[in-house]
């Protein structure tokens, strides 16, 4: 049984690796094959629309995090700082700018094509605006912005939806059509929305599998791999549907076998169940993961893995109302939610996934996540009675990952959870 499971696990990982490699290859040939390229952001991405018009998306955050994992980000950030970008700027931005100034060689070593359009889907993070202003100075291509109203109290009103739909119909789609040189085929958009919904359904089943004991997944360190296809270029494709179906089947096999998730240092035996808020560190990702896996700490749910779409609150792309559902998708992105809604979501994760604790990884350069995190910590402790922990690092700037310091904090926190469990048991 376990050999089958390991083989099945490798199948989905291999499939994902191949999908991503294929996409970068397609991008490297885009100009000679006459394919148009759209740069856009992960939260609020309109991949179905871009794909329906035969264009290819480039997601700058994905390039930055991949550069971080491949130890290339420090040099890119230094390049951007030399060009005058301050230490406080989001390090994804500096990594991207540094990469561009160093020849725009993507993380896989292949050159990235220049954009034919900058599609700024603004979902709550002000840095998105500034980032594309900088790219606009470098690239001689048009830019179009989708303004998504902030959700201060967790409600999407009819007016908010209509406002986004109107912009999509009157500004964004015409701008995309102009660059693509053809009209949008609504049947093709609906077909892609249906594929998105199928993949989203399976992804939610994967998230919810963490309710089992032991959890068959790590919903943060493992989870960032799981969201790779749906957060990047593959939503609305058959590839994504196959990937998530395969992943779901693997996870179900692990549940049947009573197995926990794999980590870089082997299979994890669950001792602690955690919820994590905030993005991970990418430059020392495996070291960071092993601080948890070695101690048997499994993350049962996290907010970062919802940053490109909150599917476990019930949202699905809808082939019957593709444009409206794109608007709802953008409105519902995690970066677009106010603190009370984020708090409710975290409370739900702590309760539904029966977490022993929750940990906040406060990332220096991401204001969108780190604002209000200390308040979240206090409120969440009050409302759930579960103890919280707080660590600080960064996304892709290795200067802000203090391994010994973070490890000490994680260990002390887990020791405190162990003592609490013992007191409860006695």
Residues that bind ligand SF4 (CB under 6 A): 61, 90, 92, 125, 127-128, 335, 366-369, 395
* 357 three-state secondary structure: strand
86 vs 426 by CB, closer to ligand SF4 = 86
Q: Minimum distance from CB of 274 to ligand SF4 (Å)? A: 22
Spatial separation of the C-alpha atoms in residues 310 and 275, rounded to whole Å: 16
Spatial separation of the C-alpha atoms in residues 190 and 319, rounded to whole Å: 4
Spatial separation of the C-alpha atoms in residues 418 and 87, rounded to whole Å: 38
134 vs 205 by CB, closer to ligand SF4 = 134
Q: Minimum distance from CB of 327 to ligand SF4 (Å)? A: 20
92 vs 315 by CB, closer to ligand SF4 = 92
Spatial separation of the C-alpha atoms in residues 156 and 152, rounded to whole Å: 10
Strands (E), 202-344: 262-263, 266-267, 272-277, 297-302
Q: Which helix (H) or strand (E) holds 363?
A: strand 357-363
77 vs 184 by CB, closer to ligand SF4 = 77
Q: Minimum distance from CB of 91 to ligand SF4 (Å)? A: 8
Q: Minimum distance from CB of 29 to ligand SF4 (Å)? A: 28
215 vs 368 by CB, closer to ligand SF4 = 368
Read off the DSSP letter of residue 312: G
Q: Minimum distance from CB of 407 to ligand SF4 (Å)? A: 24
Q: Minimum distance from CB of 276 to ligand SF4 (Å)? A: 16
Could you give phi then psi for residue 292, rounded to 5 degrees?
Answer: -95, -50
Instruction: Supply the angle between the helices 322-331 and 186-208 in degrees, to the nearest 10.
Output: 40
What number of H helices and E strands is found in the chain?
Answer: 18, 10
Q: Minimum distance from CB of 335 to ligand SF4 (Å)? A: 5
28 vs 127 by CB, closer to ligand SF4 = 127
CA distances from 60 to 15, 71, 227, 342 (A): 22, 16, 16, 25
CB 215 within 8 A of CB 300: yes
Spatial separation of the C-alpha atoms in residues 202 and 118, rounded to whole Å: 31
- Residue 293 corresponds to which tokens in the numbers above? 């896996």
90 vs 268 by CB, closer to ligand SF4 = 90
Using the Cα atoms of residue 390, residue 396, residue 400 and residue 406 in order, give the sign of their dihedral.
Answer: positive
Q: Minimum distance from CB of 364 to ligand SF4 (Å)? A: 10
Spatial separation of the C-alpha atoms in residues 130 and 344, rounded to whole Å: 30
367 vs 408 by CB, closer to ligand SF4 = 367
Spatial separation of the C-alpha atoms in residues 389 and 399, rounded to whole Å: 22
Taking the chain, what is the end-to-end CA distance rounded to the nearest angstrom? 37
Q: Minimum distance from CB of 395 to ligand SF4 (Å)? A: 6
127 vs 383 by CB, closer to ligand SF4 = 127
Q: Minimum distance from CB of 135 to ligand SF4 (Å)? A: 13
Nearest to 300 by CA among 343, 261, 338: 261
128 vs 353 by CB, closer to ligand SF4 = 128
CA distances from 424 to 356, 357, 384, 386 (A): 12, 14, 16, 13
């Amino acid at each position: 049984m376990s050999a089958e499971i390991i083989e099945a696990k490798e199948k989905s990982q291999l499939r994902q690796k191949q999908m991503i490699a294929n996409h970068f290859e397609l991008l490297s040939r885009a100009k000679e094959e006459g394919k148009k390229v759209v740069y856009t952001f992960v939260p609020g991405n309109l991949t179905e629309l871009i794909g329906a018009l035969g264009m290819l998306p480039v997601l700058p955050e994905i390039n930055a995090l991949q550069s971080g994992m491949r130890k290339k980000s420090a040099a890119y950030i230094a390049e951007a700082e030399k060009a005058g970008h301050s230490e406080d700027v989001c390090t994804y931005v500096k990594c991207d700018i540094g990469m561009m100034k160093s020849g725009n060689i993507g993380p896989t070593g292949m050159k990235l094509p220049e954009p034919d359009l900058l599609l700024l889907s603004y979902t709550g993070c002000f840095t998105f605006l500034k980032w594309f202003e900088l790219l606009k100075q470098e690239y001689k291509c048009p830019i179009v912005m989708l303004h998504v109203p902030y959700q201060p109290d967790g409600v999407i009103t009819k007016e908010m939806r209509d406002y986004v739909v109107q912009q999509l119909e009157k500004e964004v789609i015409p701008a995309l059509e102009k660059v693509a040189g053809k009209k949008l085929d609504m049947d093709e958009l609906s077909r892609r929305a249906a594929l998105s919904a199928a993949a989203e359904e399976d992804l939610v089943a994967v998230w919810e599998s963490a309710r089992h004991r032991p959890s068959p997944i790590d919903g943060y360190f493992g989870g960032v791999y799981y969201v790779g296809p749906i957060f990047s270029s593959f939503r609305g494709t058959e590839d994504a549907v196959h990937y998530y179906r395969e992943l779901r089947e693997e996870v179900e096999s692990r549940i049947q076998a009573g197995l926990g998730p794999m980590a870089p240092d082997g299979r994890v035996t669950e001792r602690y169940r955690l919820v994590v808020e905030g993005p991970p560190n990418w430059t020392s990702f495996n070291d960071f993961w092993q601080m948890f896996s070695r101690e048997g700490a499994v993350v049962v749910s996290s907010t970062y893995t919802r940053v490109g779409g909150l599917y476990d609150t019930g949202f699905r792309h809808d082939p019957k109302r593709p444009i409206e559902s794109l608007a709802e998708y953008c409105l519902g992105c995690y970066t677009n939610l106010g603190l009370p809604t984020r708090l409710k979501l975290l409370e739900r994760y702590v309760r539904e996934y029966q977490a022993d604790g929750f940990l906040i990884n406060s990332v220096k350069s991401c204001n969108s996540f780190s604002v209000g995190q200390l308040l979240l910590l206090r409120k969440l402790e009050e409302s759930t009675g579960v103890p919280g922990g707080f660590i600080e690092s960064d996304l892709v700037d290795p200067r802000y990952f203090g391994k010994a310091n973070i490890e000490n904090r994680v260990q002390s926190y887990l020791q405190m959870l162990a003592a609490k469990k013992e007191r409860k048991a006695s």
